[in-house]
């Protein structure tokens, strides 16, 4: 939980459950119009791979952790409502996902154009690890990596 001082946003991070699915899809602009993204999100919740950031019962965002990247921890998606960005929601989701990760290596990626996410990953101790071209035309995917130290997250 983050916050607690007057005027601060208190954010709780918890595992997503089936009753959250419709709300998560509803807050995600892409999932609302893309059945593949909605199905991916639904599957992540059902597998226990999705965390939710919430404040006073209001869902602010979600993050997903899986092991689809060469058997290593991988964060394929972090989504924060537009009106909740830059208030610690994304960083708390990533920290929560990192705390759940069972491998010493944790990877994620973002488009080169996503400057806020690149800055956040750097702030959280992730290093650039590689680049993937040809996913989104003209906007390569930057892969990030963090070596987790036992006992510290």
| pLDDT tens-digit readout, 58-98 | 899 999 999 999 999 999 999 999 887 888 899 999 999 99
The strand pairing partners of 55, in sequence order, are: 58
User: According to the CATH classification, is domain 12-147 in 1.20.1740.10?
Assistant: no
DSSP state, residue 83? G
Q: Report CA dihedral (118, 121, 125, 131) to the nearest 10 degrees.
A: -60
The token pair that represents 98 in the structure block: 């990192």
* pLDDT tens, position by position, 107-119: 999 999 999 999 9
Distance from C-alpha of 4 to C-alpha of 15, rounded to nearest angstrom: 21
Q: What is the radius of gyration, based on Cα positions, of the chain?
A: 15
Name the 3-class secondary structure at 86.
coil
Report helix, strand or coil for 65: strand
The DSSP symbol for 136 reads S
Give the tokens for residue 69: 């990247």
**pTM for the structure as a whole:** 0.88
Question: Mean pLDDT across the stretch 26-42?
Answer: 95
The mean-pLDDT minimum among 39-48, 50-59, 110-119, 125-134 falls in 50-59
For 107-129, b where at least 16 C-beta lie within 10 A, e where not — what string? bbbbeeeeeebbebbeeeebeee
**Dist. CA 62–CA 45, nearest whole Å:** 10
Strand partners, 73: 106
DSSP for residue 84: G
């Amino acid at each position: 939980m983050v916050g607690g001082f007057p005027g601060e946003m208190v954010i709780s991070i918890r595992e997503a459950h089936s009753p959250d699915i419709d709300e998560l899809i509803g807050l995600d602009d892409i999932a609302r119009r893309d059945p593949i993204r909605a199905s991916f999100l639904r599957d992540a919740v059902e597998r226990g791979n999705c965390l939710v950031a919430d404040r006073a019962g209001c869902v602010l965002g979600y993050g997903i952790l899986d092991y689809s990247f060469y058997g290593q921890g991988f964060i394929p998606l972090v989504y924060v409502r537009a009106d909740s960005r830059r208030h610690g929601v994304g960083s708390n989701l990533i920290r929560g996902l990192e705390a759940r990760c069972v491998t010493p290596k944790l990877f994620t990626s973002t488009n080169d154009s996503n400057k806020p996410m690149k800055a956040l990953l750097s702030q959280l101790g992730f290093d650039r690890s590689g680049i993937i071209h040809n996913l989104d035309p003209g906007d390569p995917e930057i892969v990030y990596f963090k070596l987790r130290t036992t006992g510290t997250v």
